[in-house]
Structure 1
Amino acid sequence: MLTSNGYSLDTAPARMGALTPVPDEERHDRDALWARLRRDGYLYLQGALPPDRVTAFRRHYFQAMATTGLRERGRGHPDPAAVRRVLFEQVVPGPVYDAFCTQPAIRDWYAWFLDAPVFLHRRKIIRHQRAGDTGIGFATQAHYDLVYLREGTDRVLSSWIPLGDCPAARGGLVYLEGSHQRVRAEEQDGRLRRPAASITADLPALADKFASRWLVADYAAGDMVVHSPYMVHASLDNADPDEVARLSTDIRYQRADDPIDWRWQEHWHDRDGL
């Protein structure tokens, strides 16, 4: 049973499905990728990054957190203040994280895909979730990214990257099938101008409202999902039986010549107001 913020997802075929990877024959076909992104709202790129680069950054993260009580495996007794201090003062602004987010497998791919010089938003987010943390507030609630990026272009693209293997039970990202088409239409018609906030924690109810399915995957180290700013997504609770922490990052690239949301040009902090 998969849950998100304590809500059990409906596993009926009409409400749950599998995230579809980009097939090998399309991986180097830019037109085919754009057609897929417009149709599906996401590109699931399996093995896009060197797995050893991903696992090395995961190791760096938990080594940095060693003094806080946060562990890669097991619940432990982390000190929340110490975790925030290491995260926001050391890891997020640090050179190791910057090098990871600008590695050729990411930056060069975006430059090729966007066919232009690219810009990486400085505000980059890292999320960890311990196994067994359930209830509203632990998993990422359903939302779409444009509500947080309205001061720039709507052609910004998000990359969600699991930092290590992330089977569904470990709390990976899920996408609401076809939601980008409905959200885009309502935004453009002026019928939907949501504030910078999540839609809901109740994923089953939202799937019913959209008459759609949550798309789930067992991610591996090296995978990357690129998604539209209109695509509704959320994360699952971490119910890993081996009590392995879920670690992931989401970063945003766009063409450098498109309007840039100035609010995203400082390092991420939990008090940055976004």
Structure 2
Amino acid sequence: MTLTSNGYVLDESARRLGELDAVPDRERHDRDALWERLRRDGYLWLRGALDPDVVNGFRAYYHDALAPSGVWEGDEDRAEYRRLLFQEVVPGPEYEAFCTQPAVRDWYAWFLGGETFLHRRKLIRHVRPGESGIGTATQAHYDLVYLREGTDRVLSSWIPLGDCPVSRGGLTYLEGSHHRVLAQERAGTLQHPAKSITADLPGLADEHDARWLVAGYAAGDMVVHSAFTVHASLDNVDDDYRLSTDIRYQRASEPIDWRWQQHWHLKDGL
């Protein structure tokens, strides 16, 4: 299987491609060890953090909710699809309950050591099999460029909604990128407009002399990453669609980006 992102073929040599490192069981309940790992690696891959039945249950709800648009029969009404997604699913109680389930909410309260705040703008990514070319996969970026009106200590959770083998186009992280980004941010040498870095993942790996880290995710996994960690997604070359969600938690006592306090919609400009 050839790995691509937005049509760009990844260099699969040992110098440019590696595997994501899951948090070992011995560290799962050690907050200090987790913070040390997050500062070192820029991410935490928490295998089995959520109940797979809850995850797959939400995937089934999404499937049923979008069915009237014809998306599953190949005769899709795009206007109806967008209406169902942005007017029913995204602001709906099922999605809110999923994002605030105890396995997520209580973990963040424990990890952050106090009262937390979940940003209202939450995203659902639906990537169909065979989609390729610029704009179909998430381009390389780090989250702070979209969150500059609040704290830089906001944490993102990427949750695959169902199993997501590498072939289905899950998230990939540029190894060690947060160290370089953080240094450049502090030095004021990075561009500030909210935009992706590039769709050219192999070129960016060469520029950083770093590896893209990939993984096969299972329903129930959650990846937490800092606002400085460069990440992207792969193309979906599987025979099923990839569904995932991006949500963001932070300490309630820290500055909150006001632009992220409305439900996600196509014209929100972020």
What range is the shorter-chain TM-score in? over 0.9
Corresponding residue SS for 1:244: coil
- Higher mean displacement: 185-194 or 221-230: 185-194
CA–CA distance in 2 between the matches of 1:137 and 1:68? 22
Q: TM-score, length-normalised on structure 1?
A: 0.97
Amino acid at match of 1:107: R
Corresponding residue SS for 2:126: strand
Partner of 1:200: 198
CA–CA distance in 2 between the matches of 1:2 and 1:81? 32
Matches within 5 A, 1:61-72: 61-71=62-72
Structure 2 unaligned spans of 5+: none
CA–CA distance in 2 between the matches of 1:220 and 1:52? 12
Partner of 2:268: 272
Alignment deviations for residues 86-132 of structure 1 (CA, whole Å, 9 cap, x no partner): 11000000000000000000000000000010000000000101101
Partner of 1:16: 17
CA contact (8 A) 1:62 1:70 kept: no
Partner of 1:182: 180
Matches within 5 A, 1:1-274: 1-71=2-72, 76-240=74-238, 243-274=239-270
CA–CA distance in 2 between the matches of 1:77 and 1:181? 46
RMSD (Å) for aligned C-alpha atoms: 0.8
Shift of 1:2: 0.7
Corresponding residue SS for 2:178: helix
Alignment deviations for residues 135-170 of structure 1 (CA, whole Å, 9 cap, x no partner): 111100000000000000000000000000000100
CA–CA distance in 2 between the matches of 1:5 and 1:267? 27
Task: List structure 1 segments (4+ residues) > 4 angstroms apart after TM superposition.
Answer: none
Amino acid at match of 1:154: D
CA–CA distance in 2 between the matches of 1:188 and 1:84? 39
CA–CA distance in 2 between the matches of 1:7 and 1:268? 28
CA–CA distance in 1 between the matches of 2:157 and 2:229? 12
Alignment deviations for residues 180-209 of structure 1 (CA, whole Å, 9 cap, x no partner): 000000000111133111010010000000
Corresponding residue SS for 1:257: coil
Corresponding residue SS for 2:245: strand
Shift of 1:68: 1.0
CA–CA distance in 2 between the matches of 1:168 and 1:210? 23
